[in-house]
Structure 1
Amino acid sequence: MLRTDSGTLPGGHPYARVGDGPRALVVLPGFEDSMFQGVYPPVAGWALAPYFARYLDEYTAYQVSRPRGLPAGYDAADAAEAHARSLEAIADSHERVDVVGISMGGLIGQALARRHPEVVDRLVLANSGCRLAESARGRTREFERDAREGDWASIRSKLAADMYSDGRAVTYPPTIRTIGRFLLPRPAEPADVWRSLEFVLGFDSRGDLSDLEQPTLVFGGERDPYFTPAILRETVERVPRADLELRPGAKHGAFHERKAAFDSRVRSFLDGTPAAREGEDPALEADGGR
């Protein structure tokens, strides 16, 4: 029987856990985490189990959120120090800790792995790179204006359009703007939303990535408007031990929309399997040929 629980880690980080493997897989979620209420219910681990099924033979999977009530000026140093405390607590009961950072979570993962290499063995950047694309800064500032007006549905609907390359890009936005406006959670601390956006806008790790010691996998979509292929290639070029995988046709939600390929590639990377060259596609069959 799978072990599950939820609670709060040192530093005020809410978490949900599933599995009992000797390794720890820590997922740092993206910007939308700031619109989460900040408490995982007791059943959260069971809800995550199908999503992490590909890993649970060897791993205990943790989803680790950011604390509520981020300070003004929250930056990479703040994030790295706070997350280091939570990962130290996880590392105490596991033989190694691997980190998957999604979008904003990947920005934090870079800072964490560089400043605290002792708590991160391998790093995956999912739809995340060394900086936000210049072409996406206007969209991100739209989110910031929406956040200050408390218009969470507008943020979520615009983000959905940018994440998906299939029919969800069309159907999700109007659903979110109508019934989703009443059903989706509101942020526990509204200021966390615009402070998270300020974090993303201000993040630039180009001068720091040569110090990243860990093997790193960068996984993204060829149509991602936030972390474009050019940004991802730039990231990989600056990290001493990095591999790149781009999914054709996928957008900012490639890690989710192409999940079979993502899980296959991430698991082989975590197990130490060498990456294919860019343009080769070892996971194409698992991804249904998309």
Structure 2
Amino acid sequence: MGGGGGAPLSTARGHRDRRPARGGRARRGGPARGRGHAAGRGRGSVRYVTATDGTLIAYDRFGRRDGPPLLLVQGLGTDSRGWALQRIALGRRYRCLAVDNRGVGGSTNAPHPFDLEQMARDVVSVLDAEEVAAAHVLGASMGGAIGQILAVRHGERVRGLVLACTACRHHEWRRELLAEWAAAVRTRGMSAMSGDGMRWLVGPRFHRRFGPWINLLGRLVLQGEPEHFAAQVDAILALSDDVRFELAGVDAPTLVITGSQDMLTPFGDAEELAEMIPGARLRELRGAAHGLMVEQPNAFNRSVLEFLADVDARAAIR
């Protein structure tokens, strides 16, 4: 949700950490420890990699085996199934690696607390396990914050960057809102997010069309355990706003996508983010809110594909 976790990103562009992560090679099947329910989802090739701190990270591999690699990182409380409406469109062209962030899906054996710096190292472990030197990165909301950290800390691993419904710093009202969400799920469970919380995620147009199903959608998307959801909130709130000063060093071609009705990360956040990254493009989807990849999947997918195709074409003629 537009933010991140961990220490301030004070690493200068010329001093990125270029050491490979210590993650092991990917393996199929369920994890050796933890909840381990990801392998039973029946949703493609789910694999596991050991992160730098020993946590098992699950990810779903789908799409063209010979396509350019595309790493997908979802937002708060959402696992890789949050990309359901992108699977076919993106998978036709790309070798997709959709990560379950620690705390959701098949990556629920992570010790608390953790931060977004560690979560960025998790996705590097996935790239290492897949022997991918550099990939396009698509991050949504909290995943967009992870994408920013990845582009700053490990810029050589990022070919093209798409940041959706995210921000490069916090506002006090958003800090208070996220803290309220964490408190609510700790006391009432994840059902606390299926009502009022969903009103922050989808816009009025989507509500008019699917109103009776909104709460069900919330329960389907946000299926994690309350303590893991709250730990992700803590990670988001822990990131210093100084991250935005590091974005001037990002040299990956970047697209920032926002919805015109996004209340959680409004247009001003996207505009600031695009201004901070040299040469970044800004795309607004009219009528969409924070869940723009669900509300307007065709427009979202088209924007991503057109941008990445342009990045690939420019790289091919260099």
Question: TM-score, normalised on structure 1?
Answer: 0.77
15-24 or 265-274: which moved more? 265-274
The answer on whether the counterparts of 1:113 and 1:120 sit within 8 Å (CA) in structure 2 is: yes
Structure 2 counterpart of 1:143, from 173, 181, 192: 181
Change (3 A) 1:258 1:167: closer
Q: Deviations over 1:175-226 (max 9, x none)?
A: 566x789888753x54221111122223332122112221111101122122
Matches within 5 A, 1:1-290: 4-11=44-51, 12-19=56-63, 20-33=65-78, 48=84, 51-67=86-102, 68-90=108-130, 92=131, 96-166=134-204, 168-169=206-207, 186-187=223-224, 189-203=225-239, 204=241, 205-272=243-310
Q: Deviations over 1:51-108 (max 9, x none)?
A: 3222333311221111324444422322222221112223x1x575111101111111
For 1:114 and 1:270, locate their aligned partners in 2 and report how far apart those are by CA, in whole Å: 19
Alpha-carbon RMSD: 3.0
How big is the shift at 1:273?
6.3
Where does the alignment leave 5 or more consecutive residues of structure 1 unmatched? 275-290
User: How many residues matched?
Assistant: 257
The answer on whether the counterparts of 1:114 and 1:212 sit within 8 Å (CA) in structure 2 is: yes
One-letter amino acid matched to 1:216: T
For 1:132 and 1:32, locate their aligned partners in 2 and report how far apart those are by CA, in whole Å: 18
The answer on whether the counterparts of 2:194 and 2:217 sit within 8 Å (CA) in structure 1 is: no
The answer on whether the counterparts of 1:7 and 1:15 sit within 8 Å (CA) in structure 2 is: yes
One-letter amino acid matched to 2:73: L
Question: TM-score, normalised on structure 2?
Answer: 0.71
Change (3 A) 1:164 1:117: same
One-letter amino acid matched to 1:265: S
Change (3 A) 1:21 1:129: farther
% same residue: 26
One-letter amino acid matched to 1:196: Q
Q: Deviations over 1:115-167 (max 9, x none)?
A: 11222211111111212444333321221111211420111323321222246
How big is the shift at 1:173?
7.5
166-175 or 73-82: which moved more? 166-175
Higher RCO structure, 1 or 2 (CA under 8 Å, sep 6+) = 2
The answer on whether the counterparts of 1:221 and 1:246 sit within 8 Å (CA) in structure 2 is: yes
For 1:273 and 1:249, locate their aligned partners in 2 and report how far apart those are by CA, in whole Å: 27
Aligned to 1:110, the other structure's residue is in SS state: helix
155-164 or 226-235: which moved more? 155-164
For 1:63 and 1:166, locate their aligned partners in 2 and report how far apart those are by CA, in whole Å: 29
For 1:151 and 1:81, locate their aligned partners in 2 and report how far apart those are by CA, in whole Å: 29
One-letter amino acid matched to 1:220: T
Change (3 A) 1:159 1:57: same
For 1:248 and 1:82, locate their aligned partners in 2 and report how far apart those are by CA, in whole Å: 33
